[in-house]
Amino acid sequence: MKLYGAPNPAPNPRRVRIFLAEKGLSIPETPIDMRKREHKSPEFREKNPTGQIPVLELEDGRTLSETVAICRYIEGLHPEPPLFGRDPFEQAEVDMWIRRVEFVLMTPTGMFWRHAHPYTAHLLTQFKDFGESNREAVKGAMMWFDRQLKARAFIVGDAYTMADICALTTVDFAGFIGLPMPEEAEALRGWHARVTARSSAAA
């Protein structure tokens, strides 16, 4: 297998690297230069027509994209330790929280990145008022997660899962683009310290 990705701070390739580190696995990673738009080249679009990374290429040439799909495939091959839940209910819970991370937190973070950050100005027509409006949306999302984490160690209770990986990479990317965790979000900050202390977080 071969993984196509990009170094930090790109959040999606990092999700897969953290997942692999938690599994104790290593898959060779071919870096894609996003600054040179290599992920939008015709050659790369043959692997993923959306022109996005990461992409997992199997030995027979088949490819998978989307971070959760890639990690689910790897989980099927290497089920221990379970990062998508230990029984059907937990598996559904992990899915539920991944969706919440992506819709509640990642969506406004992405809209700020696309429409308010100077780095992306040359990539699209920015609507800066809309982009800036997502600053408060991201803060509100982080405070919402802060409330959910007051009585639990991890996103889905007592076990570290793919939901934590998705949340960590999103929170870190938000901080990188100028949307830090609120000072008053003590539970969120405590969770962030716990998951960042794991050796996998350095992936």
Convert the pLDDT of each residue in 134-144 to its tens digit.
999 999 999 99
Burial of 145 (0-12, 13-18, 19+ CB in 10 A): buried
Q: Are residues 72 and 97 in the same domain?
A: no
Contacts of 117 (CB under 8 A, 6+ apart): 131, 177, 178
DSSP string for 81-117 = S-SS-SSHHHHHHHHHHHHHIIIIIIHHHHHHHHHH-
Domain count, the chain: 2
Q: Are residues 110 and 180 in the same domain?
A: yes
Q: Which strand (E) or helix (H) includes residue 4?
A: strand 2-5
pLDDT category at 110 given cuts 50, 70, 90 is very high
- The CATH number of the domain where 94 resides is what? 1.20.1050.10
Predicted pLDDT of residue 52: 96
Q: Are residues 167 and 105 in the same domain?
A: yes
Q: Which of 77, 104, 135 is the endpoint of a domain?
A: 77
| CA gap 10, 6 in Å, rounded | 6
3-state helix, strand, coil in the chain (%, to 5): 60, 10, 35
pLDDT, tens digit, 9 for 90 and up, residues 57-100? 999 999 999 999 999 999 999 999 999 999 999 999 999 999 99
Predicted pLDDT of residue 107: 98
pTM, rounded to two decimals: 0.96
Q: Are 91 and 99 in contact (CB under 8 A)?
A: no
| Helical ranges in 3-65 per DSSP H | 11-23, 42-45
Amino acid at 149: L
pLDDT, tens digit, 9 for 90 and up, residues 15-62? 999 999 999 999 999 999 998 999 999 999 999 999 999 999 999 999
Q: Are residues 111 and 187 in the same domain?
A: yes
| CA gap 104, 164 in Å, rounded | 14
Kindly state the DSSP code that residue 54 receives in the 8-state scheme.
-
Predicted pLDDT of residue 143: 98
Predicted pLDDT of residue 82: 98
| ∠ CA 20-28-114, rounded to 5° | 70
Predicted pLDDT of residue 115: 97
Structural domain span for residue 29: 2-77
Q: Are residues 92 and 168 in the same domain?
A: yes
Predicted pLDDT of residue 183: 98
pLDDT, the chain, mean: 97
pLDDT, tens digit, 9 for 90 and up, residues 140-160? 999 999 999 999 999 998 999
Predicted pLDDT of residue 146: 98
Q: Are residues 118 and 24 in the same domain?
A: no
